[in-house]
Amino acid sequence: MSATEGAAFIELENVYVERAGVRVLDNVSLTLRAGDRLAVVGANGAGKTTLLRTITGLQKATSGTVRAFGRVRRTQEDFREVRIRAAYLFQDADDQLFCPTVLEDVAFGPLNMGLNEQAALEKANATLAFLGMEHLGERITRRLSGGEKRLVCLAGVLAMEPDVLLLDEPTNSLDAKHVEKLMTVLSSLDKSMIIVSHDRPILDRLATRAVRMKDCRLEPAVLHRHPHVHEHLHVHVGEDHA
């Protein structure tokens, strides 16, 4: 990777989005640099998912500029590369999984990137092994548990070796065991991330800075370091901390 430290991977400039004629993003600007792990908090319906969809071109900006990996992105062809380098873990695993078996699903990304079938399957197997899930390879995706589905989706995302992970409420509706597994993996990865979450302990562990979506706009939220016996991060998102 040639990006210098601190290079911007993703930059939104004065982005507006309307869905069904209603404004959902209002003059949103955001920069994600190499090494950033940006928490995005905010109420349901605030526009967090729309933000991730706009970064990946699944949602078209009404106006403003989406720049990713050094280039302005406008067309679907532009966003094809963005979706490989900034891989999106959907809020709902059932929206992401669509192949019959786990191995096929994880191999889909590498295949889509142009690897031949054998290389894509090897990549999928290696990624599942990295996550300690090689035993799931032949399983039928729709019969997995919710936690297994989320981890298989993560495998599919990681198999593309992205620079950036876009994580939409990654721990939502997972049991404690799968949350811990997911967190162990995510915190071990040397990747930039945007983490949409309401899960305060998750953000404490993962995020390096935070923003909040409110009324379709992004505003800063403060990450505090509290000097306890062990130091950890708190995200303050209330009005009184803005």
Ligand X SMILES: Nc1ncnc2c1ncn2[C@@H]1O[C@H](COP(=O)(O)OP(=O)(O)O)[C@@H](O)[C@H]1O
* Axis-axis angle for helices 102-112, 117-130 (nearest 10): 120
Residue numbers 207-226 binding ligand X by CB under 6 A? none
**Distance separating alpha carbons of residues 66 and 61, to the nearest angstrom:** 8
| Chain centroid, CA 211 distance in Å | 15
Query: Smallest Cα–Cα separation from 37: which of 13, 10, 17?
Result: 10
Select the residue interacting with ligand X from 7, 14, 29, 45 (CB under 6 A). 45
Residue numbers 5-64 binding Mg ion by CB under 5 A? 48-49
Q: Which is nearer to ligand X, 4 or 44 (CB)?
A: 44
Select the residue interacting with ligand X from 10, 15, 24, 193 (CB under 6 A). 24
Tokens of 3: 């990006």
Question: Binding to ligand X by residue 19, rule CB under 6 A?
Answer: yes
Query: For 35, phi and psi rounded to 5 degrees?
Result: 90, -15
Select the residue interacting with ligand X from 12, 32, 36, 47 (CB under 6 A). 47
Question: Binding to ligand X by residue 147, rule CB under 6 A?
Answer: no
- The distance of closest approach from Cβ of residue 31 to ligand X in the complex, given in angstroms and rounded to an integer, is 20
- The distance of closest approach from Cβ of residue 100 to ligand X in the complex, given in angstroms and rounded to an integer, is 27
Number of shown-chain residues binding ligand X (CB under 6 A): 11
Query: Smallest Cα–Cα separation from 102: which of 148, 141, 151, 157?
Result: 141
Question: Binding to ligand X by residue 20, rule CB under 6 A?
Answer: yes
For residues 223 and 235, the answer to whether their CB atoms sit within 8 Å is: yes
Tokens of 45: 């319906």
Residues near Mg ion, by CB under 5 A: 48-49
Q: List residues near ligand X by CB under 6 A.
A: 19-20, 24, 42, 44-50
